[in-house]
């Protein structure tokens, strides 16, 4: 596999997670308060990225869990700044909420757990 293909695969997974989280925000804003939406998003984001990471590691596994966590979180931050804050919201207010930082931390933490699991499995099964 070429490096370009591998990059496309990992970025497609990051985009899928970002888009699903965006769907939570978009739908949530229409049916409940912003506070409730952010709480749902804070719970949903790590679960979404855990499922996407599981799929990525089972089918592709081009990067280790730490690299994957950094790529996913960087992609989300980039898209939130340049697409959501600048182009759509025309405001950086979303970054003033402490829950935003907790979401990013939790997404990173969930993906980083895959590193711990993989290390444990390799030590367990290598004898």
Domain boundaries, the chain: 3-125
pTM: predicted TM-score of the whole model, two decimal places: 0.80
Please state the rounded mean pLDDT for residues 83-99: 80
| pLDDT, averaged across the chain | 84
Please state the rounded mean pLDDT for residues 59-80: 89
The answer on pLDDT for 79 being more than 90 is yes
Give per-residue pLDDT as tens, 6-35.
999 999 999 999 999 999 999 999 999 988
What pLDDT score does 48 carry?
A: 92
Give per-residue pLDDT as tens, 30-43.
999 988 888 888 88
Among 16-25, 34-43, 72-81, 89-98, top mean pLDDT goes to 16-25
CA-based nearest residue to 107, from 6, 4, 24, 3: 24
Helix 34-59, helix 98-125: angle, nearest 10: 20
What pLDDT score does 73 carry?
A: 86
Residue 120 — pLDDT band, cuts 50, 70, 90? low
């Amino acid at each position: 596999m070429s490096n370009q293909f591998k990059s496309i695969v990992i970025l497609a997974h990051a985009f899928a997670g970002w888009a699903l989280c965006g769907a939570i925000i978009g739908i949530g804003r229409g049916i409940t308060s912003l506070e409730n939406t952010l709480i749902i998003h804070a719970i949903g984001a790590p679960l979404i990225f855990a499922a996407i990471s599981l799929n990525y590691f089972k089918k592709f596994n081009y990067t280790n869990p730490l690299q994957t966590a950094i790529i996913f979180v960087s992609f989300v931050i980039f898209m939130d700044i340049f697409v959501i804050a600048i182009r759509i919201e025309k405001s950086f207010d979303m970054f003033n909420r402490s829950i935003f930082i907790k979401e990013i931390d939790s997404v990173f933490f969930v993906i980083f757990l895959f590193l711990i699991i993989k290390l444990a499995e390799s030590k367990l099964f290598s004898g």
